[in-house]
Amino acid sequence: MLQTPKTRQPVVNRLVVIGLGLIGSSLALAARNAGLATEVVGISRRSSTLDLAVEMGVIDRPEQSLAAIASELGAGDLVVIGVPTLTVPAILKECFELLSNQVTITDVASVKGSVMVAAEEVYGHLPVQLVPGHPIAGSEKSGVTAAKADLFKDHRVILTPHADSGEAHVQLVEKLWQKVGAVVSCMDIQEHDEVLAATSHLPHFLAYSLVDTLASMRDNREIFRYAAGGFRDFTRIAASDPIMWRDIALANREAILSVLDQIMSNFSEMRSAIDSGDETYLMDVFTRARDARNHFGQSIDPKALQKTMSEKIINYKVTPGGAARGDIRVPGDKSMSHRSIMLGSIAEGMTEVTGFLEGEDSLATLQAFRGMGVIIEGPDQGRVVIHGVGLHGLKAPTKPLYLGNSGTSMRLLSGLLAGQTFDVELTGDESLSGRPMARVADPLAEMGAVIETAPGGRPPMLIKGGNKLKPIDYVLPMASAQVKSCVLLAGLYAEGETSTIEPAPTRDHSERMLRGFGYSVVSDGSKASLSGGGSLTATRIDVPADISSAAFFMVAAAITPGSDITLRHVGVNPTRVGVINILRQMGTSIELSNEKEVGGEPVADIRIRYAELNGIVIPEDQVPLAIDEFPVLFVAAACATGETVLTGAEELRVKESDRIQSMADGLVTLGIDAQSTADGIRIQGGQLGSGTVHSHDDHRIAMAFAIAGLRSQGEIEIIECNNIATSFPGFVDLATAIGLTINVETQES
Ligand code: S3P
């Protein structure tokens, strides 16, 4: 027999596990190993199971019935029901008869609705001490011999507390699961059963059915001999415990029948398509499914993007020193990537995009259009193929379109969706949910769109369909390409000419790309106009490297003696080159070569070499042309001789974070004299020191401070760099390749 481990920090008093199957015994073992309970009691009717459990060190004390221990249990004790689903009611009956309502009760059954029904029947109401739970950590193995202390590490446990579950009981159960390494979240009971029917129960029945079908074929030996990897992967779960899955099938009958009906209708359509040789149908299904599989495997699953209780925070520690040298190409332009998906989707025919940015923001746009029925292949190494559905071919999405962190997605989509026949809701993450949307909702309302926002004109945005849009001449109150593009996209659906007049030139990718799709847009000074009712023709789009991402390495070279960097194939649209103009004015040596036009957008290679920088007063006309590059330009200012002054840039306060304040705070932490003003900042060049700065969940703030490490005296720690994935996947690898030393660390949130 193994020694009882010394109790470290018990979170429960007695842990009583009824049923020593894989889940029950693994929980007992994990809790016992970590000293999470003063005593771990295992209950099983089989003495052989109990003997094994004691011998393996899974439990401290074996019992054959709850009655044997019930009188000893009270507040702080936790009973875990770990028996097959259909046996849960019988155990609940014992709990009702034997336990006081001080004892917390949870279960681990895969179906939650049936547990609640049973509890209500037995108790006559939903008991306060019952906190139903479901660890998503099963395997095809079963029994106490399969017990694994780390079975729950980094696995999800879903709790489905009911309205009367006591707070203290919920906390006790949550704490125990967290302490054994699980990621705990709460869900509504019905939602749980529906989601699990689709994602867990159905795949098991498909696997059982496939194996059973093949096994009943006459040549089954031969068939199984040749069954290869795909078969093995797909059918692994058919080796699971039959009792458990019989119980699940019966307990979650309705949700399972509904999803079985859906898959059977899909199967029968597929059968007819194969029978009739319908290649298009097959390509559509296979492409959609492959892309959805790749996509959900990445980070864009809305549930994955929405932060869970213990999602890891990524922090950077940047070691001072190094020089920036190399010849690199940064990822594709974010603004153009968004627009390529939007315009490709509403064009007629198939649009091929290369150089597409596979960052979370542009992927959010891509996923939104898939949600509206557009078939989009890829992305595969920057290549995306969009099967356009035409201006009126989008379909109503079945749920709100989740746009993560992406303001561009939300603002441009609101314009494009205002003229559809269906309702759609646009939602986003915490940062996006705080950003102003009245700037687009107001002109759209003028056009006749019906849009609801949360108080203060914030997301979510509910866009009502079926409204006829009328054209407007819109004078923008602020220089914003997003607002301009939103109005022009809505103008595609309005009868007559819609125009925008901007107070200063902003990026004109929408206008250029619309023309690339054969749609006439007239640009005349500050005015852009188009007439609704035309059509877009599919095209090829080569997205150049994003100058906003290149800017980080331009500044890296500009501030670091000995640096010399070449950045390839960068988009140098005149409405985006403020960073080049400003750095040149500060003294940086920047050469453009290989200048050409690709798909209506100017592109060049950019070479930057170190030269001493001087502080400047940044001309206000450069502000919209460098709007996303200011965080890193402030780092250049901190390394320059003298003062740099920025004015006329109040828009920076409503970006992914308040970029004036985020940067001023961080620079001050690093020992720089930086004073924010209402519409800008004053920065005295000096020596960057060391310290911990916060990104405020803003990708560009995080990357700007990483670059500062090249010239700091000591280490710079940057908190919360996760959002760099929104615009610049692979940032750390490229930064490392040119000479930065960044240690990536993770921390529980
Ligand atoms: C963008 C426009 C800019 C910019 C954003 C992308 C676009 O926003 O900051 O990152 O793609 O149109 P504003 O239009 O709000 O200035």
Work out whether the CA dihedral 121, 126, 129, 131 comes out positive or negative: positive
Task: Identify the pLDDT of residue 309.
Answer: 34
- Asked which of 524, 542, 560 is the last residue of a domain, the reply is 542
339 within some domain: no
Q: Which of 482, 548, 652 has most ligand 1 atoms within 8 Å of CB, for mutation? A: 482
The predicted model gives 370-380 an average pLDDT of 88
Phi and psi angles of residue 689, each rounded to the nearest 5 degrees, phi first = -95, -120
Q: Which of 409, 474, 507, 655 has most ligand 1 atoms within 8 Å of CB, for mutation? A: 507
Give the domain CATH number at 226. Answer: 1.10.3660.10
From 296-305, 421-430, 460-469, 619-628, the region with the lowest mean pLDDT: 296-305
Q: Is 540 known as a binding-site position?
A: no
Task: Identify the pLDDT of residue 748.
Answer: 66
Residues 421 and 467 in one domain: yes
Does the structure show a pLDDT above 70 at 124?
yes
Helix residue spans in 10-140 (DSSP H): 22-33, 47-55, 67-70, 88-98, 113-123
* Cα–Cα nearest to 113, from 195, 172, 182, 170: 195
Lookup result for tokens 């696995």: 155
- CA–centroid distance, 408 to ligand 1, in Å, is 6
The string of pLDDT tens digits covering residues 558-570 is: 999 999 999 999 9
From 268-277, 285-294, 735-744, the region with the lowest mean pLDDT: 285-294
Task: Identify the pLDDT of residue 749.
Answer: 61
Domain residue limits at 155: 12-191
361 within some domain: yes
Residues 698 and 576 in one domain: yes
Q: Model confidence at 305, in pLDDT bands (50, 70, 90)? A: very low
Residues 682 and 712 in one domain: yes
Ligand 1 atom having least distance to the Cα of 627:
9
Residue with the nearest Cα to atom 9 of ligand 1? 628
Residue with the nearest Cα to atom 11 of ligand 1? 335
Does the structure show a pLDDT above 80 at 275?
yes
Whether residue 510 has its Cβ less than 6 Å from ligand 1: no
- Asked which of 160, 191, 222 is the last residue of a domain, the reply is 191
Ligand 1 atom having least distance to the Cα of 479:
16
Residues 106 and 242 in one domain: no
Quote the pTM value. Answer: 0.66
Whether residue 481 has its Cβ less than 6 Å from ligand 1: yes
Phi and psi angles of residue 300, each rounded to the nearest 5 degrees, phi first = -85, -10
Residue 612, helix vs strand vs coil? coil
From 139-143, 258-262, 457-461, the region with the lowest mean pLDDT: 139-143
Residues 207 and 187 in one domain: no
- CB neighbours of residue 365 within 10 Å: 26
Task: Identify the pLDDT of residue 238.
Answer: 87
Q: Is 32 known as a binding-site position?
A: no
Whether residue 549 has its Cβ less than 6 Å from ligand 1: no
Residues 441 and 586 in one domain: no
Whether residue 727 has its Cβ less than 6 Å from ligand 1: no
Q: Which of 335, 487, 622 has most ligand 1 atoms within 8 Å of CB, for mutation? A: 335
- Asked which of 542, 571, 597 is the last residue of a domain, the reply is 542
Lookup result for tokens 């495997």: 297
Task: Please enumerate in sequence order all residues whose Cβ is within 8 A of that of 317, keeping only pairs 6 or more positions apart, or say none.
Answer: 715, 716, 717, 718, 742, 743, 745
Residues annotated as catalytic are 628
Whether residue 651 has its Cβ less than 6 Å from ligand 1: yes
What CA–CA distances, in Å, run from 10 to 6, 54, 129, 378?
A: 10, 20, 20, 49
6 within some domain: no
Ligand 1 atom having least distance to the Cα of 655:
9
The predicted model gives 89-110 an average pLDDT of 96
Q: Which of 338, 408, 486 has most ligand 1 atoms within 8 Å of CB, for mutation? A: 408
Does the structure show a pLDDT above 90 at 398?
no
628 within some domain: yes
- Decide if 71 contacts 47 (C-beta within 8 A): no
Query: Residue 376: beta bridge partners?
Result: 386
Ligand 1 atom having least distance to the Cα of 478:
16
303 within some domain: no
Residues 684 and 719 in one domain: yes
696 within some domain: yes
Task: Identify the pLDDT of residue 227.
Answer: 67
400's tokens: 């709100």
Ligand 1 atom having least distance to the Cα of 439:
15
Task: Identify the pLDDT of residue 465.
Answer: 95
- End-to-end CA distance of the chain: give it in Å, rounded: 39
Task: Identify the pLDDT of residue 258.
Answer: 95
Q: Is 576 known as a binding-site position?
A: no
Whether residue 480 has its Cβ less than 6 Å from ligand 1: yes
Query: How many distinct structural domains can be found in the chain?
Result: 4
Q: What does the mean pLDDT of the chain come to? A: 92
Residues 152 and 103 in one domain: yes
Rounded Cα distance, 585 and 617, in Å: 10
Give the domain CATH number at 139. Answer: 3.40.50.720
Whether residue 482 has its Cβ less than 6 Å from ligand 1: yes
Give the domain CATH number at 536. Answer: 3.65.10.10
Q: How buried is 719 (Cβ within 10 angstroms: 0-12 exposed, 13-18 middle, 19+ buried)?
A: middle
For residue 674, the surrounding DSSP H or E stretch is strand 673-677
Residue type, position 710, single letter: L
Residues 586 and 716 in one domain: yes
DSSP state of 332: B
Rounded Cα distance, 256 and 250, in Å: 9
Rounded Cα distance, 130 and 47, in Å: 28
Share of the chain above pLDDT 90, in %: 83
Classify 12 in phi/psi space as left (phi over 0), alpha (psi -120 to 50) or beta: beta
612's tokens: 């001493």
333 within some domain: no
44's tokens: 């099983």
The predicted model gives 201-214 an average pLDDT of 91
- CA–centroid distance, 475 to ligand 1, in Å, is 17
Work out whether the CA dihedral 489, 495, 497, 499 comes out positive or negative: negative
In DSSP notation, 117-184 reads: HHHHHHHSS--TTEEEEEES---S--SGGG--TTTTTT-EEEE---TT--HHHHHHHHHHHHHTT-EE
Residues 371 and 457 in one domain: yes
Phi and psi angles of residue 613, each rounded to the nearest 5 degrees, phi first = -100, 145
Whether residue 507 has its Cβ less than 6 Å from ligand 1: yes
- CA–centroid distance, 506 to ligand 1, in Å, is 8
For residue 464, the surrounding DSSP H or E stretch is strand 458-464
What CA–CA distances, in Å, run from 89 to 80, 113, 478, 497, 531?
A: 13, 12, 64, 68, 66
- CB neighbours of residue 678 within 10 Å: 9
527 CA to centre of own chain: 37
- Decide if 332 contacts 543 (C-beta within 8 A): yes
Ligand 1 atom having least distance to the Cα of 651:
16
Task: Identify the pLDDT of residue 240.
Answer: 85
- CA–centroid distance, 470 to ligand 1, in Å, is 25
Ligand 1 atom having least distance to the Cα of 485:
12
- CA–centroid distance, 407 to ligand 1, in Å, is 8
* Cα–Cα nearest to 248, from 108, 110, 89, 90: 110
- CA–centroid distance, 627 to ligand 1, in Å, is 8
Q: Is 102 known as a binding-site position?
A: no
Residues 632 and 744 in one domain: yes
258 within some domain: yes
- CA–centroid distance, 336 to ligand 1, in Å, is 11
Residues 165 and 232 in one domain: no
Q: Which of 342, 480, 623 has most ligand 1 atoms within 8 Å of CB, for mutation? A: 480
- Decide if 46 contacts 24 (C-beta within 8 A): no
Q: Is 655 known as a binding-site position?
A: yes
- CB burial of 159-196 (b: ≥16 within 10 Å; e: otherwise) equals bbbbeebbeebbebbbebbbbbbbbbeebebeebbbbb
From 400-404, 628-632, 688-692, the region with the lowest mean pLDDT: 400-404
Does the structure show a pLDDT above 80 at 311?
no
Q: Model confidence at 226, in pLDDT bands (50, 70, 90)? A: low
Whether residue 485 has its Cβ less than 6 Å from ligand 1: yes
Does the structure show a pLDDT above 50 at 307?
no
Whether residue 500 has its Cβ less than 6 Å from ligand 1: no
Virtual torsion, Cα 151, 153, 156, 159, nearest 10 deg: 80
Q: Is 653 known as a binding-site position?
A: no
Rounded Cα distance, 468 and 470, in Å: 7
The string of pLDDT tens digits covering residues 708-743 is: 999 999 999 999 999 999 999 999 999 999 999 999
Q: Is 164 known as a binding-site position?
A: no
Rounded Cα distance, 688 and 639, in Å: 8
Whether residue 412 has its Cβ less than 6 Å from ligand 1: no
DSSP state of 641: B
The string of pLDDT tens digits covering residues 440-498 is: 999 999 999 999 999 899 999 999 999 999 999 999 999 999 999 999 999 999 999 99
Rounded Cα distance, 335 and 508, in Å: 10
Beta strands in 201-319 (DSSP E): 312-319
Residue 665, helix vs strand vs coil? helix
Whether residue 409 has its Cβ less than 6 Å from ligand 1: no
